Structure 1
Amino acid sequence: MTTTVPTYRPDVYAPDAILDPYPHYERMRALGPVVRLAKQGVLAVTRHDDCKQVLLDDATFVSGRGVALNPVANRLGRGTTLNSDGEEHDRRRRLLASRLTPKALRSMRDEVEQRADAVVAAAVQRKHVDGVVDIAEALPTSFVPDLIGWPEEGRENLLRWAGATFDSLGPVNGQTVRTAPSTIGMMRFARSVVRRGAVLPGSMGADLLEKVGSGEVQRGECPALMIDYLAPSLDTTISAIASALMLLAEHPDQWAALKVDPSLIPNTVNEVVRLESPLRAFSRYVERGAEIGGVTVGAGSRVVVFYASANRDERFWDAPDRFDITRNATPQLGFGQGAHGCAGQGLARLETQSILRSVVRRVDRLEITGAPTWGLNNIIHKLDHLPLRLVADGKGQ
């Protein structure tokens, strides 16, 4: 073991690094299993096996002291599933788990697929579309708010609020400061919804308020729990759908293979999440001294787990920068691992697969008609705009 940790001096949360992160990840991986981020003063883990080790050892690398890189967000995040450990984490996760089980997802499959097909049909009718606004955002924003129970009022702000919630989990930088009012606005709105009981009947939010009445949940927990499930259920899914459209348009050979064999759609989603991971990184607090890749990490340290780097680690993946829908992409870490694996990943997969099934059926060619635009966010890797031309498949109408 060694306590020698190399330092990485560029700011990986600077705007240029957010927009083009992969050269930074590659250089950090080359430095060693653990590197110190000079700008943030924390440790970073960037290789696949080391990231997986940290994620699976939630007794050593804990989330209860926050997963953000700033103390304000970690303090405000108390009471969420994301920022809890052990029995408390399991209890909070169970509160809403019934809505996200495989059985529950099967019951909503038909509705999701119908909504997805309507989105794609409308896009094909228009021919020239923004793959983000007209397709990727359209399905989650039509379905997830209903599932969670948000009232119709205020929904026009949900995407902005959700993005700000993720921004707040980065370090204190321009992004965090700029989006702080939206972060505060979302929490105020969530508290107002819970206080007024203004959730939709039969929704996750309604389930929570029923549990308040039975004493299973404290009313004060409800706003954070509703946000806990809203933000990831929107941004990560939107990212995956938009990235899938971009990658398939950029790689006609892969698109042709998917048209021939649509059974590759589930694996395509894994490969998209691997190559363009929606989540960049979250941090963990080191509860007790540990070893990562032969490097000793002391108790009280904070370690940032870079999922997006792990998913392109050349030590683990063959030709990691190549988009290949036939590779076994199951070991990708884009949805996390272990106790804190994304609770909504089943829904994200269902929505993304449903869009792709409809696109494969209805579209003959995907053509990018302008430069894709990536968004600035400390945590979420997401396209802001994707100009597309959809050439209809006459057989799919």
Structure 2
Amino acid sequence: MPEAPPRSDIPVSDVDLFADDARVDPYPIYAELRDMGPVVHMARHGHYALPRYADVRAALMDWRTFSSAKSVFVDEETNANLEGITLCSDPPDHTMMRSVLGRPLRPDRMREITPTIEAEADRVVERVVAAGRFDAATELAEHLPMAVVSTLVGLGEEHRTKMLEWAAAIWDVQGPRNERFLDAGPSVGEFLDFAANDAVPGKIDPDGWAAHLYEAADRGEIPREKCPVMMLDYVTPSLDTTILGITSMVALFARNPDQWDLLRSDRSLIPHAINESLRVETSVPQFTRVLTDDHEIDGVALPKGSRVALLYGSANRDERKYPDPDRFDITRKPSDHLAFGRGEHVCVGMHLARLEMSALLERLADRVARFEIVDAKPMLNNGLRGYERLEVSVS
């Protein structure tokens, strides 16, 4: 779809939100974009962006106008190839696929797996705290998604070590055709080949979530050809986003020991601490939408067919919504943050993510008085933001 020329009254930014420095620290850039106006034309990649909370939330709640059917990434060729997957669809197709995907992720099903999550949380926290020094990304945050969730998906033990590589690559193609995008191509192709040829009945756990997709297809609930690409919906959101969320949460408490003291003295703050950490450090900073009609956003008119980036990471730090937004404050109770999205496309796995984060926080609060950051390496990925490595010591 050709991009409509930018209107002369809309501010233009030539910043590249996918450049290395912007992936490491996008927040000064987000502040500039919010100050520029409710809509900014991003000249590097030819789309518009919404940097303010109210506008992003309104867009998320209006899927008929802000459509996902033309995909939600940046590169138009990639967008064309992904049309029709769960993330890149609208009702009724989206409703059909989401109803099947979401069954094992409903709150009642989460209660069934809670004992398993808690037992694994006990094991990993006891181990890393006993060590005294550990990588919160690889030794702590990865454990529950990899030990529990990958098993529940049921794709096979021999493929578990590949799942993180595949998931990161899939997120990398969310961006423009930069070096990371191009480097990710072979891994994405490998995953799609695996999904089509190996993640099929007879080769996967018959009780796993992946097998349930094919069972739903056999019942006529979804087209069978949708099953391989729907694997994306279990592999990508259940791994990297949760791992990054847990790691960033540890970093925030390390840098804000007063907040850790608050949580240790009042465990009822755990749900609010999770929301606040997701608000302050949003693992998925943006997705795009396409306007299905001419539309006005806070007084700014955009034409039908415009691709618009919804900047979740910016919206969650909008001073118009959250006083002193860069401050990490677990008494803030920001249950209305946008890290999980909102509306029709709200994250289907958010209950699972909260369960994993809560289980770890409970146990860390029992055993750790202080976190100290020894070394940190930011993740560079076109679709994700957080830490690749976060080495901490505990006392």
**TM-score, normalised by the number of residues in structure 2:** 0.96
In structure 2, the residue corresponding to 1:389 is in which secondary structure? strand
Amino acid at match of 1:137: E
Q: Residue 239 of structure 2: which of 224, 234, 239 is its match? A: 234
Q: Percent identity?
A: 39
Deviation at 1:230, TM superposition (A): 1.4
The one-letter amino acid paired with 2:389 is H
Report the AA paired with residue 15 of structure 1: D
Q: Gapped runs of 5+ residues in structure 1? A: 392-397
Alignment match of 2:335 (pick from 330, 334, 337): 330
In structure 2, the gaps of 5 or more residues are: 1-6
**Structure 1 runs of 4+ with >4 Å offset:** none
Which residue, 307, 312, 323 being the options, matches 1:307?
Answer: 312
**Structure 1 segment 74-93 matched on structure 2, within 5 A:** 74-93=79-98
Q: Is the 8 A contact 1:163 1:235 kept in 2?
A: yes
Following the alignment from structure 2 to structure 1, what is the Cα–Cα distance between the partners of residues 122 and 80?
42
Aligned to 1:250: 255
Say if 2:266 is the partner of 1:261: yes
In structure 1, what is the Cα distance between the partners aligned to 2:46 and 2:222?
37
> What is the rounded CA distance, in whole Å, between the counterparts of 1:340 and 1:212 in structure 2?
22
Which secondary structure does the structure 2 equivalent of 1:285 belong to?
strand
Helix, strand or coil at the partner of 2:341 = coil
Residue number among 22, 32, 44 corresponding to 1:27 in the alignment: 32
Q: Secondary structure at the match of 2:308?
A: strand
Separation in structure 2 between the aligned mates of residue 294 and residue 200 of structure 1, nearest angstrom = 53
Deviation (angstroms), 1:77: 1.8
- Does residue 187 (structure 1) correspond to residue 192 (structure 2)? The answer is yes
* Residue 165 (str. 1) matches residue 170 (str. 2): yes
Question: What secondary structure is seen at the aligned counterpart in 2 of 1:216?
Answer: coil
SS of residue matched to 2:152: helix
Equivalent residue pairs, number: 389
Q: Which residue of 2 aligns with 1:344?
A: 349
Q: Alignment partner of 1:364: what SS?
A: coil
Distance in 2 of aligned mates of 1:37 and 1:375:
23
1:59 pairs with 64, 67, 92, which one? 64
* Alpha-carbon shift at residue 208 of structure 1 (Å): 1.3
Secondary structure, aligned partner of 2:44: coil
Query: Which string of whole-angstrom CA distances, capped at 9 and with x for unpartnered residues, describes residues 187-222 of structure 1?
Result: 111112244532212111121121232333333211
CA shift at 1:123, angstroms?
0.4
1:118 maps to amino acid:
R
Deviations 1:262-282 (A, max 9, x none): 111111000000000011100
Kindly provide the amino acid, as one letter, of the partner of residue 189 in structure 1. F
Read off the aligned partner of 2:390 and give its amino acid letter: L
- Corresponding residue number in structure 2 for 1:386: 390
Match of 1:361 among 359, 366, 371: 366
Pick the aligned partner of 2:55 from 50, 54, 69. Answer: 50
Query: Is 2:95 the counterpart of 1:127?
Result: no
* C-alpha deviation, 1:7, in angstroms: 0.1
Asked if the contact 1:45–1:303 (Cα under 8 Å) also holds between the matched residues in 2, the reply is: yes
Equivalent residues of 1:197, 1:209 under 8 A apart: no
Q: Deviations over 1:160-179 (max 9, x none)?
A: 11011111111121211111
Are the counterparts in 2 of residues 123 and 135 from structure 1 also a CA contact under 8 Å?
A: yes
Write the deviation string for residues 13-43 of structure 1: whole angstroms up to 9, x where unpaired.
1111111111110100000000000100100
- 1:46-76 deviation per Cα after TM superposition (whole angstroms, max 9, x unaligned): 0000000111110001001100111232133
Task: Give the match for residue 378 of structure 2.
Answer: 374
> What does residue 394 of structure 1 align with?
none
Report the TM-score when normalising by structure 1. 0.95
The CA distance in 1 between the partners of 2:8 and 2:239, in whole Å, is 40
Structure 2 residue aligned with 1:103, among 108, 111, 127? 108
